[in-house]
Amino acid sequence: MSECIFCQIVAGRIAAKKVGETTHVYAFRDNNPQAPTHVLLIPREHVADSAADLGPQHAVMLTELFGLAAKIARDERLELGWRLVTNVGPEAGQSVYHLHFHLLGGRSLRWPPG
């Protein structure tokens, strides 16, 4: 997926501020942060569209993603709370069609978020 911006970040063709990585997951700071801590966690492999496309073959990647999110939250000292969210479709705010999760924290996060 050479045209996918997240695939280009994983390949090192576009610079990103890396926060962490595993075998299957890459995490970097969002360029337009919505909270003091705003990190994107993406699968290294292109997972088209969204969480709606996940299957049993993604179990290892998802385990690594949630584990890395928890590690980053600890490293960022988000003891009071943090949010991990993915958007599915344009009405939910999805703008890049490569599965990704936003880790947000460092301020009070309201509910409902929209």
Sorted by sequence, the CB contacts under 8 Å of residue 62 that are 6+ apart come out as 54
Clarify whether 100 is annotated catalytic. yes
Residue in 46, 58, 98, 100 annotated catalytic: 100
CA distance 68 to 62: 10
Residues in the chain: 114
Residue pointed to by tokens 């969480």: 51
Question: Mind telling me the catalytic residues?
Answer: 100
